[in-house]
Chain A
Amino acid sequence: MFVVKRKELSLRERLFLPEIARALGHSLRAIFKPKITRQYPEEGLPTTEVTRGQPRLVVKEDGAMACVSCGLCEAACPAYAITIDGQETDRFIEREPERFDIDMLRCILCGFCEEACPKDAIFMSDELELADYSREALKYDIEKLKRPKAALQKRIDYVYRINERWRSSSSTS
């Protein structure tokens, strides 16, 4: 059993005033310290390659979507935020989504869709801001979700690197 004895205060400590003066000096020095406030809307939020923001669809260099509307992300999504309707095209990869909706009010930014995607078509971007005046505006359709591959490259590289590490570690064990 531990008994914590209350410390006997010396006269100087019982006077409070010297200690108060010391505290005041401390806070006075703090006034002149450099400020750490981030001026948010102007300065923006710090993002790294690990940042898992809102999911976005990859548009390849040739302008076609990488998505083949297989529906795996729709199935993986734990919040049922994704709705996909597919359609056929004349291109070599002959499927693409006709409709790809993500209800951002339901999305929990978990990244399962990114992991489920077999075609590297959906990635978690570094876009974090999610605010609007109506619920309808936050149901993102395919046009709002499209991003050129270059914009997502940082995250794509990161995911590849991480997956590589997993693959190699699983192969050795």
Chain B
Amino acid sequence: MAELLFYVLAAGTVAAGVGVIACRNPLFSVLSLLGAFFCLATIYLLAGFPFLAATQLLVYAGAIMVLFLFVIMLLNLGDEEQYAERPPFGKRGLAIAGASAGVLLLIAVFSVGFGSVSASDGDSPAVTSFPDESIDDVQSIAELLFSRYMLPFEASSLLLLATMIAVILLAKRQRGSGAEGAGWPWKKGVEQ
């Protein structure tokens, strides 16, 4: 039952992932990504990590994708047509990129997926054996996060803070300079 569910969800994740890059309409791309997040969260839940699943939904689906939607709704949605005809790197570049991505994917699948299916010992990170009980992982995650991974954790938050400040600075600078269109940074972008 759980295995069947896993394969359905995995297929759903991949399909949604393909949908993200295949959809012409950026809004549908965002929704596909949302679907991928949902499938992933459910897989986490199956694997016994409810905390991870809830955080996935809370942070990615609940906050970040909402902001994505916010931005996409503000953009001019007619724009995607002009990029549709001319891929930026040419056909050969695309072919090389696709081939290498496919090889990487195959390597990943063979080394992780089938390896663990064939492994019979219990302690491999197997997708085929789901725990009966959910793991109470909040405490352990918190302990690791605030002891062993304290520095990376704080560093990543600092990075985010720096990015935020940089974005604000960029926006502010654009608003200050320029005689006409002052205060309307997006207008300047259109004129150029």
On whether A and B touch (CB less than 8 Å), the answer reads no
B interface residues, Cβ below 8 angstroms from A: none
